[in-house]
Each structure stands twice: as C-alpha cells, then as structure tokens.
Structure 1
Amino acid sequence: MTETVKLKSPIDGSIYAERPIATDQAINAAVERAKAAQADWVRIPSAERGKYMLAMLEALVAMNDEIVPEIAWQMGRPTRYGGEFGGVKERVTYMVEIAEQALKPMMASNPKEGFRRYVKKEPLGVVMVIAPWNYPYLTAVNTIVPALMAGNTVILKHAAQTLLVGERFAQAFEKVGLPKGVFQNIVMNHAQTERLLGSGKIDHVNFTGSVAGGRAIEKAAAGTFMSLGLELGGKDPAYVLPDAKLDFAIANLVDGAFFNSGQCCCGIERVYVHEKVYDDFVDGFVSLTKEYVVGNPLDQATTMGPMAQARFADLIREQKAEALRKGATAHINMKVAEDRAGSPYIPPEVLTGVDHQMSVMREESFGPIVGIMKVRDDEEAIALMNDSPYGLTASLWTGDADRAASLGDRIETGTVFMNRCDYLDPALVWTGVKDTGRGAALSPIGYDNLTRPKSYHLREAI
C-alpha cells in the first residue's frame, strides 16, 4: 500500500489534499538529476539565471487568486490579507538584482606584478530546502532563489501542512522553461529526509522550523561535512521606551503579535514597557486587540483565522492557564464558539502580571498570546530581553536612533529594529543567535552561505 501525506485543513478538519510519498528510488533519481543538471546550470550566466527567476515570479503572481484561498485552506490565514507575493516580489527582485555583484570574484587587495590572484565563489552543488508552513512562499524563496542564482540546483521538501506550495513552485518553474532537474519538488517523510541528508549526496540544507527539528537535521547530516542553514525557535521581544509615540507603537506591536494568528518567525511574543508609559500602553494595546474578529479565514470579515493545527492552539491554552495560576491577569477573554480544547480556533490574549517564571515569557508560543511587563529602566529591559535561549529579532520603540543603536549593541539578537517589527528586509542579512540557529539568508552575505570560496593564484610571467 502506498504511503501518503494527508493535509488536514484547520478550517473544518477535512482532508484538503493527499499526496503519495516518493519512493526511495524516485528520491535517488531526483538527486542524480539535480547533480547532472547543476553541471550545465552553473555555466549559464547569472543574468540569464535571473531572467528565469523573474519569470517564475510572474508565473506565481499570476496564480495568486487561486493561491490565496489555497493558503487559507492549508494553514488558516484569512484571505482578506491577499497572500504573500508583495514580500516575495521584494525578496526575489532584490536577490536577482544584487547577484552579479555579490557573486563576482574578489581580487587580492595587494596586487603583485606578474601574478593574477583572486577568489571565486563557486556553487555548493545540490541545495535542499526544507520549508515551513507559516509563510510557505516567503520562507522558501529566501533560499530557493539565491541558491539557483548562485548556480546550485534545488530540491524542495515543503511542510506537510502546506503540501500544495511546492507544487505551485514546480508549476511556475515549468511554465517558464527552467531546465529539467534544476528545481524539483519532492514529497518525503521524516525518515527519508534523514537518510538523504546522511547520504552525502546533498551539499547544503536550509531548514526553517523548531529547535528539535534543527537538532534532528544536524544529527542526520553529521559526518557528511555539508553546510547548514537553520532558522529555528524564537521569542522575540519589544521594549517601549518613555519617549515612544504610543499610538504608533501600539498599532504596530498589536499587529506584530497577532498577524497570522501569531504564527510568525519574528512575531512579537513579549513586550517590556517603561513604567512611565506602561498604563497608557496596556490600555491602548488591550483596546485594539479586542477589535480582532476570529472565524473562518474565507470570510472577508475575519481578521484572525484558526491556527494551523489544534495542538498549536492547545499549547497557547496551556501557557495561558499556567500564567493565570501563577498570578497573571488576562485582559481579552474573548468568547469564540469554536474555542475549546482540541480546536485550532483560539482568540488573541494579552497578559499582564507576568514574569519570567512563566512559560509564556520564556518558551516559544508561536500563537496569539503576548505578555506585557513593566520595567524601571533600560538596564532592566535589556536584562529581560536577553533572558531567553533564543535570538532572532528585537524591536525598540523610541524617537532616539542613537539610543536605539546603543541599546541594540547589547541585545543578543540577529536583527535590531527601531519603530518596526515582524518584517524582513532582503538587503539585510537574516540570521539568529543562540538556539535560534546558525547560518544566514538574503543580502550579499546570503550568497556567501550558498557558495564556497575557490582561490586562483596565477603566475603570468616566467
């Protein structure tokens, strides 16, 4: 009997899609195709590779009317938000635009007469992308496009929860005539993925997901010497300083905490507010949060759909219950008919009276709950922001850029925001510290992680 992957929709619990898992023979054949195709793909000039990427982008955008409800059925994001292709376009076009400069050889800084000395950036070979469900297009293109631009070939294994996204990428690349074997979408189970990573046939893997998943990837790849890009857990903090423009900070932090039902890699999960503005901030934050409408994501009135799976929502329920037992106060307590144990539908929640003895302030929530703490000064805020095993982004809300930069130097994080959150700028490297992972994506540095240096020391005169 053929093993399949079943995609259970969070909307109504129905099986929205089902696909057979590839056989081991099919997986091996795909890897061989990728290796063979890479030898020809690398000889195509980067400008020509860029044309394929931009044409692929156009093909994806042309599918958007079908893709938006498809995403809602797969992982629950409301259709009113219109999909991900604004960000996808920004990232794809930027990485194509900088490719030639980012990939050009580096000349030796001390010229020597009679010698030509430089370092080329060679593609790694076959790159595997293991993509997550929360932003299934945005996260995937972070690696797919620069990997292909650098002359690698790509094998995509998308999350089971967003099974159809990999097929959409494959359709787009096929439509624009990408050479066979350069990009392949494969449905695999965990055991097959681990075996493939341990086979030595993959040259680089990029994984976005849980810390446990990242450890499993490292273990599977041990001894192969392949390179890894891992974006794992997060517990991103915000600090609201006394000079912050409160209305602006409140509007952006509410959105940063609850957009996509809080299922954002760099979403706001904890907020520290200076005591001088704490009461006003909490009042405004609670008031705005109460405006959310939880329901069927296909309904245009819905601003918060279900979480992708019921077990994710149950974790939020557990974190809230634990916090309340330890003395926290819940401010929203919104009544939603479907909100019960075992249901993916859950309303947003704002907690005060929280501390770092509660899991909601320490462990990744990845859902629509946020704790707000009062702090006396910058020192207390920085200590609390750094009191975490994770470090992806941190945001500071102030009118003083110099102060933000100075504080940012002391925060253990991959990105420091000022008056912004939950955003990824493709011109800046996307990376994390501590248990958030290793490696880097986007920006010119992202190309360095998808290539290897090769030195040329040529004596011209003998």
Structure 2
Amino acid sequence: MTRILRCISPIDGSVFAEREALSPDAARATATRARAAQAGWAARPLSERVDLVMAGVEALGAMNDEIVPELAHMMGRPVRYGGEFGGVRERASHMAAIAREGLADLQVGEDATFKRYIKRVPHGVVFVVAPWNYPYMTAINTVAPALVAGNTVMLKHATQTLLVGERMARAFHSAGVPEDVFQNVFLDHDTTATLIGERAFDFVNFTGSVGGGRAMERAAAGTFTAMGLELGGKDPGYVMEDADLDAAVATLIDAAVYNSGQCCCGIERIYVHESLYDVFVEKSVETVRALRLGNPLEEATTIGPMANVRFAEEVRAQIDEALKMGATAHIATMPADDGAAYLTPQILTDVTHDMRVMRDESFGPVVGIMPVKDDDEAVRLMNNSEFGLTASLWTADLERAERVGDRVETGTVFLNRADYLDPGLCWTGCKNTGRGGSLSVIGYHNLTRPKSYHLKKVTR
C-alpha cells in the first residue's frame, strides 16, 4: 500500500505539502547506491570535499527568500526572524575550518623499526533523521561534517518539515555533490526501522523524542550500528543574587518562548534566588505580555502557532494540571489563542516538582519559576530531572559559576547566556537526553572510526 506523508500547516490546518514514502525495496536501493558511492567520495581530497560542501551551503542560502515563508507554513516560525541560514553557515563554516585538525592522524611514534599511528576513517553510510523545530540547523550539524569526513549521507526529515530535505539535496547537488553521495529520502517509520535492522547504515544520527530514540535503539538491536541520539530536554536557568537581572530576564524568557518554546535547549524551568524572585517574576510577566501571538506570515507577529495541534494540547494539559495543583498563571489568554495550535505563552509560579510542567518536557511556550535560597537548593532542583542537555547560570562570579556547573548534570553549561549552540563546543547531553555528540572536533570523531596502523619496517 502506498503511504502518503502529509505536512499539515499550523497556520490554518490545511495540507501544505505531501510526498509519497519510498517502498522498502526502493529504500533499500537508495541505501545501496549510497554505499556504492562512498569509497569514491572518500577518495577525493579533503579540500575538495570541504569546498563542495561549503558550495552546497551557499547554494542553500541563495534559497532563503523562499525558505523563510515555507518554514512559517510548515512549522509556524514567524517570518520576521529570517530563517536559519545564519546558523547553518556558522556551523558548517566552523566544521570546514577544523576539518583537517578533526580528521588528522594521531601520531603514536616512529623509529627505525616501527611506524605507528591512528587514522580517522569514515563510517560509510550515515543516516540522519532530523527534527522539525530547527530543520536546517539540526540537519547541517551532521550532514556537513559527515560529508566532509568522507561518508555518504541519507537524510530523512520529519513530516512536519517535509520539504527541507528536498531543498538541501537540491542545493548540494547544484554545487557538485554527487546525487548518490547525499540523498534525501521520504520514509515511514516501518521502513526506517527495517533499514536500520538490516544494517543498511553504518551510523545513525537521530534528533527527536525519547520515545523516538528508544524506537531507533530497538530497531538497531543486535546490529551494533553506532548511534548519536539527541532526545528530550528540560533545561533549567539559575539566577543568583548578584546576577544582571535585566539581562537574565531578557535572555531566559526569550529562551523559554522563542520559536513558540520549541527549541532543543529552550529554558523550561527557572530557579531564582529569593532576594530577586519577586522582581524577576514581575519583569518576566511584562516581557511575555508584550509578545504578539498571530499568523507567522505577518511581520508584526512575534510568536506564532505551535507546529502541530497535538503539541499544543500537551502544553495545555501540563498547564491545566499545574493550575489544579496550585500553580498561578500570570498571562491572560491572548486574542489569537484558538484553543488549537495558537497557544498563549505562559508563566507559572507557585510550582513544584510534583507537577508535570516542572518534570516532563513541555517543548512549548511555558515556563515555571521557583525561588531558591542558595546554590545547594538550586543544584538539587536542576538535577531533579531525567534530562540533561543544558543549564543556564547567571552570576558575575565566574569561579562560582564553574563550581556550580561542575555539579550540574548536563551536557553544556552556559554562563550569562542561554539557548545557543557554539559549533566549537561538543553538543551533547546525558541521562534521557541521549548519547554521543555533534560539532567540534569531537563531532568528527563520532562520525568516523579509529583505525590503527602498526607498521614494521624491513631493515637490512
């Protein structure tokens, strides 16, 4: 039976795009072509691969005027924010710049008798399953360095952003990357699981839900396929008594509601020293009340709909449950809130960790704020989570931040900023946030495997 994948626009609930999913046999043929093309691609000089990948990135940037409204239609981000190309270029450029370092041989030693070194060699076929919330930036995190490292890539995007992979493939092919080296595929879940189980891929990178990550691991069970998984998050902010209050409010609240709260490292809970708590809440409420919820195609809109009605339903459920348990909501329902995808951003106080809104991933424009008396209480609450992606600390004391950061169970610690991905650092998490890491030199290490050379010289 033919399976049709449909992108339902959150703007009005209409079908924005649809594509036919590949049959299992057609998907296998695609993977076979990728495997056949890999050795030739890896044999090209590193500089050539880098140049082709960066040309593909620039070709993608040339499409930005079309991409921005397309993203608004597919997942609801307001056009006023201009899309993702700045981040795409920054990440790809950094990975290109450090490619020689990241892929360099590790020299162990050479003398008259032996030459010993460790090479980084490509896995082979890399399968990238990208999410809808930042579909270009999350994809480029793996696509660019995987290609640079000599892998071939198959890219599958979320149905909510169905057209992104097509655009990326078109851009890279127009720049000279061979079609079998980088392929966009439309797959349903069953065919995806089948291919993984048949070991069609040598490395799988998945960004998505914890449930999706578990499904990937189940599909790969017994195949020993390497995986990189970025899954859920419940990222905390901690505002200490000496923090720059205005900067903390502006940054943390933006990190909580930008992109309708649909950010991998968005702030979902905030702990504020009790001496600053009341004024922090007051300023945060003022900030959120100034937002304009509406159609993302309108320049005046500062917060658009959530990408799908079912995502908004989960956020509403968490808010409603918290209110029944004693939480206080500070933002009145906005005129554009339709009870469906258009959701009023919300600030909650009088919250506790007994409430799902402070434990489960919300992935929407809601944040709970709690007072704390000291670092020990803040660390205990920040670590009281099944997730561990990032934490945002706010203080003028760098050494104190480092001490607190050492105790926080996350993949990244921010000081006086939040919700940002620095491509020079490894993007990674712990606990149910997943495993592995992308970007930085470590990203190259994860997209290759070590191969040791122990060469005994013939001497006379």
TM-score (norm 2): 0.99
C-alpha displacement at 1:115, in angstroms? Answer: 1.2
In the other structure, the counterpart of 1:253 is 252
Q: Which moved more, 1:16-25 or 1:418-427?
A: 16-25
In the other structure, the counterpart of 1:136 is 135
Q: Is the 8 A contact 1:392 1:414 kept in 2?
A: yes
C-alpha displacement at 1:23, in angstroms? Answer: 1.8
In the other structure, the counterpart of 2:417 is 420
C-alpha displacement at 1:92, in angstroms? Answer: 0.3
- Asked if 1:219 is matched to 2:218, the reply is yes
- Asked if 1:43 is matched to 2:40, the reply is no
C-alpha displacement at 1:334, in angstroms? Answer: 2.9
State, as a whole percentage, how many aligned pairs show the same letter.
60
For residues 318 and 387 of structure 1, the distance between their equivalents in structure 2, rounded to whole angstroms, comes to 21
In the other structure, the counterpart of 1:263 is 262
In the other structure, the counterpart of 2:28 is 28
- Asked if 1:8 is matched to 2:8, the reply is yes
For residues 250 and 153 of structure 1, the distance between their equivalents in structure 2, rounded to whole angstroms, comes to 44
For residues 241-280 of structure 1, what are the alpha-carbon distances to aligned partners after superposition, in whole Å with 9 as ceiling and x for unaligned?
A: 0000001111111110000000000000000000011111
C-alpha displacement at 1:111, in angstroms? Answer: 4.3
- Asked if 1:455 is matched to 2:452, the reply is yes
In the other structure, the counterpart of 1:71 is 71
In the other structure, the counterpart of 2:389 is 392
For residues 232 and 111 of structure 2, the distance between their equivalents in structure 1, rounded to whole angstroms, comes to 48
Letter in 1 for 2:452: S
In the other structure, the counterpart of 1:239 is 238
Secondary structure of residue in 1 paired with 2:5: strand
For residues 411 and 441 of structure 2, the distance between their equivalents in structure 1, rounded to whole angstroms, comes to 16
For residues 412 and 25 of structure 1, the distance between their equivalents in structure 2, rounded to whole angstroms, comes to 43
C-alpha displacement at 1:114, in angstroms? Answer: 2.1
User: Which segments of 5 or more consecutive residues in structure 1 lack a partner in the other structure?
Assistant: none
Q: Is the 8 A contact 2:293 2:337 kept in 1?
A: no
In the other structure, the counterpart of 1:432 is 429
Q: Is the 8 A contact 1:148 1:154 kept in 2?
A: yes
Secondary structure of residue in 2 paired with 1:42: helix
User: Which segments of 5 or more consecutive residues in structure 2 lack a partner in the other structure?
Assistant: none
Correspondent of 1:407 among 404, 409, 421: 404
Correspondent of 1:375 among 352, 364, 372: 372
For residues 337 and 112 of structure 1, the distance between their equivalents in structure 2, rounded to whole angstroms, comes to 73
For residues 200 and 344 of structure 2, the distance between their equivalents in structure 1, rounded to whole angstroms, comes to 45
Letter in 1 for 2:229: L
Q: Is the 8 A contact 1:230 1:438 kept in 2?
A: yes
C-alpha displacement at 1:3, in angstroms? Answer: 2.0
Secondary structure of residue in 1 paired with 2:427: coil
Q: Is the 8 A contact 2:337 2:344 kept in 1?
A: no
Q: Is the 8 A contact 1:392 1:436 kept in 2?
A: yes
Aligned length: 459
In the other structure, the counterpart of 1:89 is 89
Letter in 1 for 2:66: E
For residues 116 and 400 of structure 1, the distance between their equivalents in structure 2, rounded to whole angstroms, comes to 49
Letter in 1 for 2:397: D
For residues 117 and 146 of structure 1, the distance between their equivalents in structure 2, rounded to whole angstroms, comes to 26
- Asked if 1:352 is matched to 2:349, the reply is yes
For residues 325 and 112 of structure 1, the distance between their equivalents in structure 2, rounded to whole angstroms, comes to 73
For residues 111 and 272 of structure 1, the distance between their equivalents in structure 2, rounded to whole angstroms, comes to 55
For residues 427 and 434 of structure 2, the distance between their equivalents in structure 1, rounded to whole angstroms, comes to 11
C-alpha displacement at 1:77, in angstroms? Answer: 0.3
Letter in 2 for 1:94: H
Letter in 2 for 1:57: V
For residues 117 and 51 of structure 2, the distance between their equivalents in structure 1, rounded to whole angstroms, comes to 28
Secondary structure of residue in 1 paired with 2:420: coil
Secondary structure of residue in 2 paired with 1:344: coil
Q: Within 5 A, what are the aligned runs for 1:117-196?
A: 117-196=116-195
For residues 113 and 435 of structure 1, the distance between their equivalents in structure 2, rounded to whole angstroms, comes to 50
Letter in 2 for 1:259: Y
Letter in 1 for 2:163: L
Q: Superposition RMSD on alpha carbons, in Å?
A: 0.9
> Which runs of at least 4 in structure 1 moved beyond 3 Å after TM superposition?
110-113
For residues 313 and 452 of structure 2, the distance between their equivalents in structure 1, rounded to whole angstroms, comes to 53
For residues 44 and 336 of structure 2, the distance between their equivalents in structure 1, rounded to whole angstroms, comes to 57
Letter in 1 for 2:200: K
Q: Is the 8 A contact 2:293 2:334 kept in 1?
A: no
In the other structure, the counterpart of 2:201 is 202
For residues 25 and 226 of structure 1, the distance between their equivalents in structure 2, rounded to whole angstroms, comes to 21
